[in-house]
C-alpha cells in the first residue's frame, strides 16, 4: 500500500465532527456553549498532514490509533476548562496549575512522560512620541504541554496568536512528520523572532533619546530614559530565562524530542542569545545616556550659577561705590567737588563695563 492509501485509510478511521445545527434548531444552553469557547483550534496530524477535524476529547484517541499527534490550541482557559483537558490528556497537576495561574517565568519542566514549557511573548507598542509614561513593551505568555501524541498550547494575553503559525506549519509536512516537538520548536522560534523585532524597535527609541540628550536644546530627558529602562526590564525578563530551557532542548537527549529536532532548537537558542546580548547592550547604553543627561543637567546648573554670580558682581560694584559715598561724614574726598556726582556715576559704569567684559571673555555670561 502506498503512503497515499495509508493516509486515506487514516482519514477514514478518524471520528467525524458533528455538523452545525440547522436553522431553527433549539439554541444550545450558554453553559454548553462555554464548554469549548476556550478552544481556538484542534487538529490531528498524521504523516505531517492535517486530518478531518475532531473534538478535543476525541482527538487523542484518533491520534494514537493513527500514529499521529494532536495540536490543541487554547486561549485563556479557566481552571475548570483546563481540568477537563487535563483529564483527557493526563496532564500533570502542577503543570496545569501553572498554566491556569499564568504570570510564570520562562522555564521547562520535565515530568514522567511529558514536558511543560513556559514562554513569554513580547509585542512593541507603537507610539508617536516616547513620554515618561509610554508603554513600550507589552508581554504575554504561551504555555506548551508536550506528550508523545499531543501538543497543547495555552495562550495568555491579547497578542501572540498562533493561527498564522499553524497555517504556515501545515505547509511544512516534512517538519510536522518529526512529531509534536516540531510544534514546540515553531512556537519558540516565533517567540524568539518577536523578541528580535521588539529589540530592534526599542533600539530606535534609544537612538532617539541619545540624539535628544546631546542636542543643543535644554530638555530634561531623564524621566523618558528611566521609563524606557523599566520597559526594557520586561523584555529582559522574557528573554534571559529562556536560555536554559532552549539549551536543554538543544543539547540533552529526550524521548519526546528526536535527535533531528535538536538542531532546530539550537537555532532558536542562537536567536534568543543574540536578543539577550542586544537587550543587555541597550540597557548599558541607556545607563550611559542617563549619566550623560544627569551630567548635562549638572553642567547647565553650573552655567546658571556662574551667570547669576556674574550679574551679582555687576550689581555689587556700583552698590559698593554708592555705599561709600553715601556715608554721612564731613571730610571725604571729592565731597564738595562740583564733578563728584558725575565722577561717581562714571566710575560705576567703568567698573561694570570692565566686569562685564571679563565675565564675557571667560564665558560666564
The cell numbers describing 138, all together, are 507589552
Q: What is the CATH number of the domain that holds 127?
A: 3.30.460.20
Query: 312 and 278, same structural domain?
Result: no
Torsion angle defined by CA atoms of residues 231, 237, 240 and 246, in that order, rounded to the nearest 10 degrees: -130
pLDDT for res 118: 95
Query: 234 and 314, same structural domain?
Result: no
Q: How many CA atoms lie within 13 A of 197 on its CB side?
A: 13
Residue 138 lies in a domain: yes
pLDDT for res 7: 37
Buried b (16+ CB within 10 A) or exposed e, 334-358: eeeeeeeeeebeeebeebbeebbee
Beta bridge partners of 118: 107, 143
Residue 245 lies in a domain: yes
pTM over 0.85: no
- The answer to whether the beta carbons of residues 147 and 111 sit under 8 Å apart is no
Domain residues for the domain of 162 are 3-19+29-297
Query: 341 and 226, same structural domain?
Result: no
Query: 96 and 240, same structural domain?
Result: yes
Residue 265 lies in a domain: yes
Radius of gyration of the chain (CA): 36
- The answer to whether the beta carbons of residues 123 and 159 sit under 8 Å apart is yes
* Domain endpoint, select from 248, 279, 297: 297
Query: 135 and 79, same structural domain?
Result: yes
pLDDT for res 340: 72
Query: 172 and 149, same structural domain?
Result: yes
Residue 178 lies in a domain: yes
Query: 244 and 162, same structural domain?
Result: yes
Q: What is the Cα–Cα distance from 184 to 115, expressed in whole angstroms? A: 10
pLDDT by 10s per residue, the chain, length 365: 333 333 333 333 334 333 333 333 333 333 343 456 889 999 999 999 998 888 888 999 999 999 999 999 999 898 999 999 999 999 999 999 999 887 888 999 999 889 999 999 999 999 888 888 889 999 989 999 999 999 999 998 776 678 889 999 999 999 999 999 999 999 999 999 999 999 999 999 999 998 888 888 777 888 899 999 999 999 999 999 999 999 999 999 888 999 999 999 999 999 999 999 999 999 999 999 988 888 887 777 777 787 888 888 878 878 877 777 777 666 666 666 777 777 778 888 888 888 888 878 877 77
pLDDT for res 324: 73
pLDDT for res 172: 93
How far is the CA of 70 from the CAs of 59, 98, 118, 346, in angstroms? 6, 21, 19, 99
How many CB atoms neighbour CB 230 within 10 A? 12
Q: What is the Cα–Cα distance from 26 to 21, expressed in whole angstroms? A: 8
Q: What is the Cα–Cα distance from 149 to 61, expressed in whole angstroms? A: 9
Q: What is the CATH number of the domain that holds 339?
A: 1.20.58.340
* Domain endpoint, select from 281, 297, 313: 297
What single-letter DSSP state applies at residue 241?
A: G
How buried is residue 306: exposed, middle or buried, by Cβ count under 10 Å (0-12/13-18/19+)?
middle
Query: 219 and 101, same structural domain?
Result: yes
Query: 350 and 206, same structural domain?
Result: no
Query: 237 and 202, same structural domain?
Result: yes
Give ∠ CA 187-193-194 in degrees, rounded to 5.
90
* Domain endpoint, select from 244, 274, 297: 297
Residue 321 lies in a domain: yes
pLDDT for res 283: 92
Query: 200 and 115, same structural domain?
Result: yes
pLDDT digits (tens, 9 = 90+) for 233-261: 999 999 999 999 999 999 998 889 999 99
Residue 24 lies in a domain: no
Query: 228 and 159, same structural domain?
Result: yes
pLDDT for res 169: 92
- Number of folded domains in the chain? 2
Nearest to 59 by CA among 107, 14, 108, 120: 14
Amino acid at each position: 500500500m502506498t503512503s497515499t492509501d495509508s493516509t486515506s485509510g487514516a482519514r477514514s478511521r478518524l471520528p467525524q465532527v458533528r455538523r452545525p445545527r440547522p436553522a431553527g434548531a433549539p439554541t444550545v444552553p450558554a453553559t454548553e456553549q462555554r464548554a469549548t469557547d476556550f478552544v481556538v483550534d484542534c487538529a490531528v496530524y498524521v504523516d505531517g498532514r492535517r486530518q478531518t477535524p475532531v473534538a478535543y476529547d476525541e482527538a487523542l484517541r484518533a491520534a494514537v490509533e493513527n500514529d499521529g499527534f494532536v495540536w490543541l490550541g487554547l486561549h485563556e482557559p479557566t481552571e475548570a476548562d483546563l481540568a477537563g483537558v487535563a483529564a483527557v490528556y493526563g496532564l500533570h497537576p502542577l503543570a496545569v496549575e501553572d498554566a491556569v495561574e499564568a504570570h510564570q517565568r520562562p522555564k521547562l519542566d520535565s515530568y514522567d512522560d511529558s514536558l511543560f514549557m513556559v514562554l513569554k511573548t513580547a509585542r512593541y507598542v507603537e507610539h508617536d512620541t516616547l513620554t515618561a509614561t509610554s508603554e513600550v513593551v507589552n508581554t504575554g505568555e504561551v504555555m506548551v504541554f508536550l506528550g508523545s501524541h499531543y501538543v497543547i498550547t495555552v495562550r495568555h494575553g491579547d497578542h501572540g496568536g498562533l493561527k498564522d503559525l499553524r497555517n504556515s506549519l501545515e505547509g511544512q509536512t516534512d517538519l510536522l512528520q518529526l512529531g509534536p516537538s516540531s510544534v514546540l520548536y515553531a512556537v519558540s522560534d516565533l517567540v524568539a523572532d518577536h523578541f528580535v523585532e521588539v529589540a530592534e524597535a526599542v533600539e530606535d527609541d534609544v537612538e532617539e533619546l541619545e540624539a535628544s540628550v546631546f542636542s543643543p536644546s535644554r530638555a530634561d530627558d531623564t524621566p523618558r530614559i528611566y521609563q524606557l529602562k523599566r520597559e526594557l526590564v520586561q523584555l529582559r525578563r522574557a528573554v534571559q530565562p529562556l536560555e536554559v530551557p532552549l539549551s536543554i532542548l538543544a543539547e540533552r537527549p529526550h524521548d519526546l524530542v528526536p535527535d533531528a529536532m535538536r538542531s532546530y532548537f539550537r537555532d532558536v537558542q542562537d536567536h534568543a542569545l543574540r536578543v539577550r546580548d542586544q537587550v543587555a547592550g541597550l540597557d548599558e547604553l541607556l545607563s550611559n545616556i542617563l549619566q550623560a543627561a544627569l551630567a548635562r543637567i549638572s553642567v547647565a546648573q553650573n552655567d546658571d550659577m556662574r551667570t547669576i554670580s556674574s550679574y551679582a558682581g555687576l550689581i555689587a560694584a556700583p552698590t559698593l561705590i554708592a555705599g561709600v559715598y553715601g556715608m554721612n561724614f564731613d571730610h571725604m574726598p571729592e565731597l564738595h567737588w562740583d564733578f563728584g556726582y558725575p565722577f561717581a556715576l562714571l566710575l560705576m559704569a567703568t567698573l561694570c563695563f570692565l566686569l562685564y567684559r571679563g565675565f564675557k571673555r571667560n564665558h560666564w555670561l
